[in-house]
Structure formats: structure tokens, C-alpha cells
């Protein structure tokens, strides 16, 4: 994280509430999703919560490697594609789930695989926002989200100390 980026730490409780809020929004869009395709790894946790809330039993993964050393986005590489069964009709009634849509590069690749699917993310940044159909919270492009699975219990400096230098 650079000095110009903002920090947005998310606790397990907050993430669970946000993922359930996303499920609630999605329940009003389609009452009968045939499958969830989660973008690994970040989409695994919200996909599990949403699958439980919406009663979806078929969960597929699409594996796209993009972040390297958690500091910058490198070249994207598809490690595992979506099954032919779900791509056959363009992903109609399929729900794509991710934790965050940042630059939109990963979302664009997955959208090409499933152009008829509904794309949902818990969080969205302005560059990725146009590729998401449903999300809960938008954060600025210069905000680094610290997800609970990436955090340990450590001292957090007061916000005022960061801005005073």
C-alpha cells in the first residue's frame, strides 16, 4: 500500500453482514439461480454465504491469478475455466460471485466466459464498477481493502497519526 492509498480493514463480522446483504439483494433479482461461479480465491467466502442464504447447491469455481505479492496486479492467467455445462447457454441464471471488483480486468475475463450471467461483488471500485450488476459497497480506487482472511491481530495506528506524518 502506498502513502496515497486509503486503508479499509474489514472484520469477519462486517464481511458476513455485507455478504448476507448481497444475498438479500440477489434474492429479489432471481429466486432460482441454477449455479454460483465464484472467482477464486476471494469469491470463495462470499459464495459460501450466498449459496447458503439462497439455497444454491451447485458451486463452480473459475480460477484467475492476478495479484502478486498483494501490492500490484500482474498479468492475468486463467488457471481453471468454468465447466462447459454452465457456459453452454452463456451462463443464463448463473450467478458470478467475487469479493471485490477492482480494476475490472478479472471481471472482464469471467464475463467473456459467461456473458449472460449476473455478476455480483461485495465491494466495487470505480474502474471495476461498470462490470458488476450488483454490489454492496463502493470504495474509492485508491482504497486498499484488507479482508479478514488476510489479517491478524495487530496494533492499528490512529488515523490522525497517519495524516500528520
Catalytic positions: 98-99, 102
**Residue located via cell numbers 449459496:** 51
- Closest C-alpha among 10, 76, 16, 13 to residue 45: 16
3-state SS assignment for residue 59: strand
Binding site per annotation, positions for 5-phospho-alpha-D-ribose 1-diphosphate: 41-42, 98-106
- What residues are designated binding site for Mg(2+)? 99
The secondary element (H helix, E strand) that includes residue 64 is strand 59-68
* Structural contact between residues 145 and 100, judged by C-beta atoms closer than 8 angstroms: yes
Residue set of the binding site for xanthine: 102, 145
Q: Pairing between strand 59-68 and 72-80?
A: antiparallel
Binding residues: 41-42, 98-106, 144-145
Q: What is the signed CA dihedral for 15, 61, 78, 114, rounded to 10 degrees?
A: -100
Amino acid at each position: 500500500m502506498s502513502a496515497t492509498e486509503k486503508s479499509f480493514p474489514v472484520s469477519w463480522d462486517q464481511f458476513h453482514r455485507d455478504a448476507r446483504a448481497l444475498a438479500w439483494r440477489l434474492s429479489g433479482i432471481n429466486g432460482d439461480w441454477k449455479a454460483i461461479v465464484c472467482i477464486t480465491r476471494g469469491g470463495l467466502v462470499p459464495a459460501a454465504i450466498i449459496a447458503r442464504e439462497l439455497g444454491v447447491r451447485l458451486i463452480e469455481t473459475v480460477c484467475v491469478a492476478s495479484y502478486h505479492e498483494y501490492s500490484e496486479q500482474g498479468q492475468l492467467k486463467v488457471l481453471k475455466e468454468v465447466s462447459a455445462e454452465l457456459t453452454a447457454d452463456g451462463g443464463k441464471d448463473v450467478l458470478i460471485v467475487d469479493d471485490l471488483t477492482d480494476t475490472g480486468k478479472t471481471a472482464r475475463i469471467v464475463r467473456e466466459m459467461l456473458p449472460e450471467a449476473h455478476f455480483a461483488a461485495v465491494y466495487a471500485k470505480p474502474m471495476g464498477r461498470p462490470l458488476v450488476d450488483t454490489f454492496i459497497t463502493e470504495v474509492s480506487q485508491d482504497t486498499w481493502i484488507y479482508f479478514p482472511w488476510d489479517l491478524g491481530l495487530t496494533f492499528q495506528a490512529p488515523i490522525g497519526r497517519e495524516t500528520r506524518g
